[in-house]
Amino acid sequence: MAKKVKAGEAETPVFKFPEFDEKEFLREEIRDSKAIIASALMALPMAAVAAIMTAAIHPTAGIVMGLAGFGAIYFLFKFLFKDLSGFKIKHWLMTMGGYFLTFLALWILLINPPFMDLSGPVIEKPQYTTALPDFTAVQNDLIDLPDGTVDWIIRVRVADNVGLRGYPQLTAGAATVDMTPVPGEKGVYEATVTGIVGVAITASDENGHTTTYNLDVY
């Protein structure tokens, strides 16, 4: 038997789901997809210009160019969508984040071989010895040789992202000699030095970039 509603007693409101506007939903999805694609495509020319600025000016200029893309995207969206009132914070974060990640990936790709070579060889891990086969790692670019040392040997590891042009050269006093590869040690070169004199090791890559490593000897 149905319960009677007393006079003055309010009926419990019935919850109703809001009506689903399929057309509006599709419009928003298409708009968001266009925004993501447009922001990713914007990263292409921005990364190319940033790579050129990196090579011509400084890596910081490349980053500044990438950040300038945020402003360019705003004006691009104004041109494509006219009304941006429907863009909420999540939409901006999504499109800007996608743009910057794409920009970074392209920029890093373009400033490295085979497109560009902006860095010289890396000379590292120097070692020396006055009595083979025991080598001592150089600390703070200083070599402390025993008094009366005549001949001693120095080794370094040299690497480059493109490839070296010839062997590294070692200059000790007025003499300059080519360092020779150490058998069984990839990228390791050595040379014999006469006397207690400071040395400079120079390496060049195939694109003409040169690196010099100086060591003080006493």
pLDDT band, very low/low/confident/very high, at 59 (cuts 50, 70, 90): very high
pLDDT in tens, 126-154: 999 999 999 999 999 999 999 999 999 99
d(CA 47, CA 70) in angstroms, rounded, equals: 13
For 162, list phi and psi in degrees, rounded to 5. Answer: -110, -50
**pTM tops 0.75, yes or no:** no
Q: What percent of the chain has pLDDT over 70?
A: 90
* Average confidence score pLDDT of the chain: 91
User: Which region among 7-21, 95-109, 119-133 has the lowest average model confidence (pLDDT)?
Assistant: 7-21
Mean pLDDT over residues 182-193, rounded? 97
Domain ranges in the chain? 22-110, 122-217
Q: What is the pLDDT of residue 128?
A: 98
Higher pLDDT, 12 or 88: 88
Between the CA of residue 184 and those of 69, 181, 187, 189, 193, what are the distances in Å? 49, 9, 9, 11, 22
Q: What integer pLDDT is reported at residue 214 of this predicted model?
A: 97
* Residue 8 predicted with pLDDT over 60: no
How does residue 86 score in pLDDT terms, banded at 50, 70 and 90?
confident
- 26 pLDDT band (50/70/90 cuts)? confident
Bridge partners (DSSP) of residue 193 are 152
Question: What is the CATH T-level fold of the domain 122-217, as seen in this structure?
Answer: Immunoglobulin-like (2.60.40)
